[in-house]
Every structure is written in C-alpha cells, then in structure tokens.
Chain A
Amino acid sequence: MKSAVAALFAGLLFGFGLIVSGMANPEKVLGFLDIAGLWDPSLAFVMGGAVIVGLLAFAIARKRTLSFLGFDMKVPGHSHINKRLIVGGLLFGIGWGIAGICPGPGLVALGAGEVKATVFVASMVAGMGIFELVEHKRAAFRSDDSGERWHYKAPE
C-alpha cells in the first residue's frame, strides 16, 4: 500500500515536471530534434535539470541497501552494451522523431484528453505487447540468449 502511495506521488510529480518543462508538448520536443531548422535547445536543459537532481539521489541510493520505506534497492547492475540496446534505442528514436512523443509525455497528453495521444498510447501498448509475444516465442525456442559479443566492462 505505501509503495503505491509513493508511486502515485512520484508519477504526479513526474507529470507536473513534464508540463512545467514544456515537454508535454510534442511540437516543442520536435523543435529540439530539428537541429537543421530553428533549434529549440530546451529539452537539453530539461535533461540537465533532471540529471543534476538525479545525481544527488543516486549518490544517496548507492550507500543504501534498503529504500527509506524499507524496500530493496532495485537498481540495474549490468552494464552490457549490446545489439539489443542499440537497435531498440534506434527504433524508439525513429518513432520519437515521427511524432515527437515518448512514453511519459504520451501518457500526460492522454490524461489531458488529447484524442491523438490516445491513439499513440494504444499503439505503443500494442507495440509492447508484440515485444512480449516475440520474446515469449524466442524464449521457448532457446533458453540461452547469449548471442551478444559486444561487451562493455564497467570501470569500477
């Protein structure tokens, strides 16, 4: 129960941040992605503002094994840079460039009652469903998914 209340709070704050920053507006996002046109650098400042706060948070989190509510710290430990990561990023980037919408702003625009955002989010969830189906099939064919060669060793 307390995890849900904290998550609701974080989700609200995240949504307010996207609204304040202007990132809930896909046209503004596209203004950032259009470097050959009139370029709006705002998105870089949003990332900068978020990362400054985030750096502090992760510095605190690194020293803990339990969260302040007593949950396990589930921070990803692996640092493989593999084909999946890059190909997934590229596919996502193409979709992002087409409409100017990534998952967070898509959900905020949906909440604002934008019909077009509903179509986007429905398609996005369908895409996630397709991914799960394909993954499920792949897993059934081979349990060992180690076709990755490009391995990054983190400098610890």
Chain B
Amino acid sequence: MIDIAWSSFTPWTALTGGALVGLAAASFLLLNGRIAGISGILGGLLTASAGNIGWRAAFLAGLIGAPGLWMLVAQLPPIEIEAGYPALVIAGLLVGIGTRYGSGCTSGHGVCGLSRLSPRSLAATLSFMFAGFVTVFIIRHVLGV
C-alpha cells in the first residue's frame, strides 16, 4: 500500500516547473544542437578542448545564477539538506562517478533521453530510480536513520 503525502504533493507547480525544465532542454537542443545533460556538461569541462569550455561554463553559470536572480524578485523556496557532511561526501562521489560511468543523470537520461524515446536512457533511468528507491528504503526503514 502506498500512502500519498497529500499535504506536500504539489502537482501544479511540479508540472509547471517540469515544463520550464523541458523548455530549457528544448532551447538548448534547438539553439545549441546539444543534449542538456548536466553531469555531461559539468564532467566534460574537466577534459574540454578550448572551443568547448565557453558554452559549458555559460550553461553552468546560468544554473548556478538562477537562485540569485530569483531572489531579486521573490523569496527562494526552502532548500532543506538533511544529510550530514560524511554522507554528503559519499553521495557526491557516487553521483560524480556513477553519472559519468553511466553517461548521464536525471537531466540527460531522464528528461532528454525519455523525450527522444531512447531505450538506452529508459534503462539508465530505471536503474538510478530503482537504486534511489532501494537506498532510501534501507536508510529510512531498515536502518531507521
């Protein structure tokens, strides 16, 4: 049985925000001709040739600058990070290694891959979703952290 958290479920802002994410991926695809895969854009920066540094850095600057620009006109919604520092380091390392080894994350395989109906990206998305569900289950319901 699945209990829905009706008090925190926000379908309309989720759909609207999702559509914005889709628009961002769409504009990047149709203007730059590239997939808006964030792990690839960031990871590729480590070995990028001179001609490929600018657009990567610009995309990341937009992403990092978004909350600052948002705060000029409205209050930023809460960002709650409950994990402790050791957990954050382990999580970060796993996300960094895993997204590069598996060639993508929630944006590249999830949003863009599913949008182009790629079986490969569907398999990747199912893998990280499955691992995410199991990990949270173990942490919250087996270890009881």
Residues on A facing B (Cβ under 8 Å): 1, 3-28, 30-31, 33-43, 45-58, 60-61, 66-69, 71-76, 78-81, 84-104, 106-114, 116-117, 119-132, 152, 154
Distance A116 CA – B74 CA, assembled complex (angstroms): 23
Q: For the side of the interface on B, what is the size category? A: 35 or more
B8 to A, closest residue via Cβ: A40
Residues of B within 8 A of A97 (CB): 131-136, 139
Distance A66 CA – B33 CA, assembled complex (angstroms): 7
Distance A112 CA – B77 CA, assembled complex (angstroms): 10
Interface of chain B: mostly helix, strand, loop or mixed: helix
Residues of B within 8 A of A30 (CB): 82, 136
Residues on B facing A (Cβ under 8 Å): 2-5, 8-11, 13-36, 38-39, 42-43, 46-47, 54-70, 76-83, 85, 87-103, 105-107, 109-112, 114-120, 123-137, 139-141
Instruction: Tell me which of A12, A25, A121 has the highest count of chain B C-beta atoms within 10 A of its own C-beta.
Output: A12
Cβ-neighbour of A102 out of B17, B47, B106 (below 8 A): B106
Cβ-neighbour of A50 out of B56, B79, B111, B126 (below 8 A): B111
